[in-house]
Amino acid sequence: MEVKTSLLDNMIGVGDMVLLEPLSEDSFIENLRNRFDHNEIYTYIGSVVISMNPYRSLPIYTPDKVEEYRNRNFYELSPHIYALADEAYRSLRDQDKDQCILITGESGAGKTEASKLVMSYVAAVCGKGQEVNKVKEQLLQSNPVLEAFGNAKTVRNDNSSRFGKYMDIEFDFKGDPLGGVISNYLLEKSRVVKQPRGERNFHVFYQLLSGASDDTLKKLKLDRDFSKYNYLSLDSASVNGLDDAANFRTVRNAMQIVGFMEDEVQSVLELVAAVLKLGNIEFKPESRCNGTDESRIKDKNDLKEMCELLGIEQSVLERAFSYRTVEAKLEKVSTTLNVAQAYYARDALAKNLYSRLFSWLVTRINESIKAQAKTRHKVMGVLDIYGFEIFEDNSFEQFIINYCNEKLQQIFIELTLREEQEEYVREGIEWTNIEYFNNAIICDLIENNQNGILAMLDEECLRPGTVTDETFLDKLNTICADHQHFESRLSKNSKFLNDHSLPHSCFRIQHYAGKVLYRAEGFVDKNNDLLYRDLSQAMYKATHSLIKQLFPEGNPAKVNLKRPPTAGFQFKASVGTLMRNLQTKNPNYIRCIKPNDKKASHIFTESLVCHQVRYLGLMENVRVRRAGYAFRQAYEPCLERYKMLCKRTWPHWRGPAREGVEVLMADLQVPTDEFSYGRSKIFIRNPRTLFFLEERRRQCLQDLATLIQKIYRGWKCRSQFLLLKKSQIVVAAWYRRYAQQKKYQKIKSATTVVQSYTRGWQARKLLRELKYQKRCEEAVTTIAAYWHGTQARRELRQLKEEARNKHAVSVIWAGWQGTKARRELRRLKEEARRKHAVAVIWAYWQGLKVRREYRKFFRANAGKKIYDFTIQRIMQKYFLGLKSSMPPMSPIDKNWPARPYLFLDGVHKELRRIFHLWRCKKYRSQFTEEKKAVYEEKLEASEIFKDKKALYPSSVNQPFKGDYLEISKNPKYQKLNSAVDEKVLLADVVNKINRANGKGTARIFLLTKKSVVLADQKTGQVKASVPLPDLASVSVSTQSDGFFALRLKEGSASAIKGDFLLSSEHLIEIITKLHRTGATAADREQLNIDISDEFLVQFKQDKVCVKFIQGAPKNGNSVSCKRKNNRLLEVSVPTTA
């Protein structure tokens, strides 16, 4: 069962100021202090949330907290900003009501953080999805950009918003964000040129100088030293806890997420740098011959750098700072500017340049985050605007800020009363008029079109003649003197003419939050907000892409002599538009209060908080809320909370909730004038009645707690007794079991002993019988064994005797046979010796006869004859032997018979050479003409690449095919084949290397006798055709890659686009055919082949070095080409094992 909670549970102080009793300013502030001391920074006034700035991080914004407040009733949990955000989001999603959240408070009260928390909560609870998440991220990231350009460090706040922001977030019917629109109000552009002591300029200036890279600062012509820029205050340049460098990176990232292009970001930074440079321009006086003073720029270096950033001619801007042209109908009058006027023009340009840049940023962000769908959207507006300001010195800015707060207070009271009245009518409760202070008279004093202060200020600004702040104050004294909320030294409402708290140059207005003294000095100039037309026209002449958009009035073709609208008029129109927008939406209010001026936690300054409570009108808000009924609650949660106070409704009420509440209130005897029954809610008039119910509930809860404790203790004791009883039974059962087991074990043990003795006696008896039987059987076996052994030994002796007799006979017979054999052998040997002797004698005799017969013929040159005869016989024998051992007819067979004699070495080698030439000739005679050409190409490839390129050995066994694409047969290349007139010697697909990234593009490579053609692989369209005479050389590496460069002759027609860097799997064949085609042509020089691991390639106007290195195998052992810089392409070739 879900546990129901309430705003009234565990309440520190009073969570809703409507219930505060007694109600006074002191009790109001004391309640705030009490809650603030216990880290309860949120308090309600009905549906209004009061937020105290804790000046530290609190663990109350976690994702768990988001889930806790998600889809919960507003008063169901303790006060929190998430409760208001959830209530607004659910009303928008479920009831189709447009919502607006108004966040007000003075600087440092936490308005910006409150708006971020609201947006982050809505982003967390709405739908999910890629497109939705992108929209949410863009909406959230728009904050850092606007904070950088619109926030600054002040004495009250380190991140003070110096502009008012209203964001409309648009949702679809499911409640998912579609986009948004941002409106900005009154940027404090005077801060650009001057900051009060202890304050800084806008954050972006410090972030740029701290966080930009050195290269970026160099392009922007800036230096990191803050002291070099007049527009940057030095006493507060660095802020504790604020990292400008990290914030700059955050802003750059946020701009990228929102959708800014890189060139747009660069343009914005250039304008920021130009503002800084503009502040360094200084002037010196110079007298003219006619006695008038004019100004001249002291140091033109900053002016020059600014002009270079914006693309403006220096002379044009320099003249705009020295002269002013006034146009009246057809007349132009040019006057010189003195030093003061020149400084005014410089600062006016800086303020306008920055404020227009800020407005452009808001417009650009709106373009990115606006909803794309054209259907009707649900809208939630978030207004983060400055609160009521009362300073020691209040000027024009405080006047219009306070005017805006008067309008917000007026609409706040009107909408609150209207909401109250609508709820009363909806619930059927009688409406009673509520007395309250209506500040419409103050708004009319300021904005009346006839006699309002803004109207008179505009009239003074537009009036011809001398116009000063004194004339404006005189007019106020004349027209507003009788107004009850206006005071000056000359008005009738000034009680003391000698009151020194009201100087002559000031006037005082009685606002709803108190009296504010305004100094009239500067009202006219700030309302005019005048920028000389010469400066606008000079800006329009800039070549910078953004400047022309910011100064459209500078266009000479659209010169408008009408004065531009004043600042007051523009702000009044913006406030009117805002008020009309808020009137159409259901309002939700967040009132921000800062507890102290030291920006420190745990410090509560009562006077400061009291001052803010007054000018925020919080007491007035409580009184309006309490004028009718202080508390209201639906019947169901009311009955659920208080049903224990009546026996008839406790613990369960079966009927309708309203009847249960009526029974409950009747039983408690609450006076009928203290409450009323609505259609769905009960209305309680006085907080005392509610506290009476709460006190009765607290007592009842204590009684119920006592009853619960009594029942629980009885149940606990009873449960313990039953447990002990159950345990005793279990223990007894286990003991009895144990005792019986022990007794059984003893009986079993005794039986086992008896059985063992009996079985032992029987076993021993049986053993004795078996042993006796075994001894008898062993005796019989032994006797039989002895007898059988005796018989066997006798038989063995007989057999041995017979064997000895047989062996003696065999030995005698063998001896006799050996004797006979030896006698026969001696006889045969003797006979053989006799025959051999006869043969020897006969041979000698024959030789003697021959020698005697031929001695008369060979006696003189017998030695030479015998030598020649011997040599002849040896040669004959050599050739006959060579014939029988000839090697195979294969030209690659290197076998050859060994030479038999040393003197035949020369003949042997020559015969080997002749035989090899002969068999090569026989092998060649079998070739066709085509095969001869292939082998000639292979031979030429060997002469070019052998021992020079690592790729050559792998190409030896690969035949040169030539036309790898079959271009004449393939119909895909019919158009390309018809475009080439000559015969195609080689057609292959190569990769053309792009110098920009080293990637290859497939191209068809065609080689004819006259030209080289490169065509697109897909379409067959010819991309390049290079005549062979235009080729100067071909460059390749020594590695195993397929890269080659076609170097073109300088000055040739083909060299306009530069050389070609290609890669192919048939590199050896392509280069060989190119070289062979060039060698066969008589009208051109032979093509030079350059083999080197580093060579230059001409790409259009630039020469790029192609360098080949060996590296570890990557990407499947493929060759990779990468661009290292503009002048180097590096080819990584895998190392071969």
| Rounded Cα distance, 315 and 305, in Å | 13
Active site residue 142: no
How far are the Cα atoms of 413, 1078, 1084 from residue 1081, in angstroms, in the given order?
A: 103, 5, 6
Report angle CA 406, 407, 411 to the nearest 5 degrees.
120
- Is 446 in contact with 406 (CB distance < 8 Å)? yes
| Rounded Cα distance, 626 and 46, in Å | 9
- Is 1044 in contact with 1090 (CB distance < 8 Å)? no
Q: How far is CA 1115 from the centre of its chain?
A: 28
Active site residue 160: yes
Tell me how far apart the 2 most distant CA atoms of the chain are, in Å: 185
Active site residue 1120: no
User: Which of 965, 1137, 1116, 1108 has the alpha carbon at shortest distance from 1044?
Assistant: 1108
End-to-end, the C-alpha distance of the chain in Å comes to 75
Catalytic residue among 47, 53, 104, 160: 160
Q: In 628-686, where does DSSP find H-type helix?
A: 635-642, 657-668
Active site residue 863: no
| Rounded Cα distance, 4 and 669, in Å | 26
SS in 3 state form for 975-1032?
A: HHHHHCCCCCCEEEEEEEECCCCCCEEEEEEEECCCEEEEEECCCCCEEEEEEHHHEE
How far are the Cα atoms of 574, 701, 705, 715, 875 from residue 708, in angstroms, in the given order?
A: 63, 10, 5, 10, 137
| Rounded Cα distance, 156 and 597, in Å | 6
**Residue 968: half-sphere exposure toward Cβ, Cα within 13 Å:** 8
Catalytic residue among 30, 68, 137, 389: 389
User: Which of 11, 1096, 32 has the alpha carbon at shortest distance from 616?
Assistant: 32
Catalytic residue among 6, 31, 107, 416: 107
Residue whose token pair is 């790898």: 964
Give the three-class secondary structure for 890.
Answer: coil
Active site residue 107: yes
What single-letter amino acid sits at 979? A
How far are the Cα atoms of 39, 63, 112 from residue 59, in angstroms, in the given order?
A: 10, 10, 19
User: Which of 108, 109, 185, 120 has the alpha carbon at shortest distance from 146?
Assistant: 185
Catalytic residue among 47, 142, 157, 1072: 157
Active site residue 387: yes
**Exposed/middle/buried for 933, CB within 10 Å: 0-12, 13-18, 19+?**
middle
Rg (CA), the chain: 58
Supply 1089's token pair.
């082949």
How many other CB atoms sit within 10 Å of the CB of residue 487? 23
Catalytic residue among 15, 46, 105, 108: 108
How many other CB atoms sit within 10 Å of the CB of residue 799? 9
Supply 802's token pair.
């017979």
Catalytic residue among 110, 211, 279, 387: 387
User: Which of 1104, 997, 964 has the alpha carbon at shortest distance from 1045?
Assistant: 1104
Beta strands in 172-254 (DSSP E): 177-185
Torsion angles phi and psi, residue 1007, rounded to 5: -120, 120
Active site residue 1058: no
User: Which of 582, 579, 576 has the alpha carbon at shortest distance from 452?
Assistant: 576
User: Which of 226, 165, 232, 225 has the alpha carbon at shortest distance from 192?
Assistant: 232
User: Which of 257, 159, 235 has the alpha carbon at shortest distance from 204?
Assistant: 159
| Rounded Cα distance, 896 and 406, in Å | 121
Catalytic residue among 112, 159, 210, 977: 112
Q: Which uninterrupted H or E stretch holds 632?
A: strand 631-634
Q: Just list the catalytic residues.
A: 107-108, 112, 157, 160-161, 387, 389
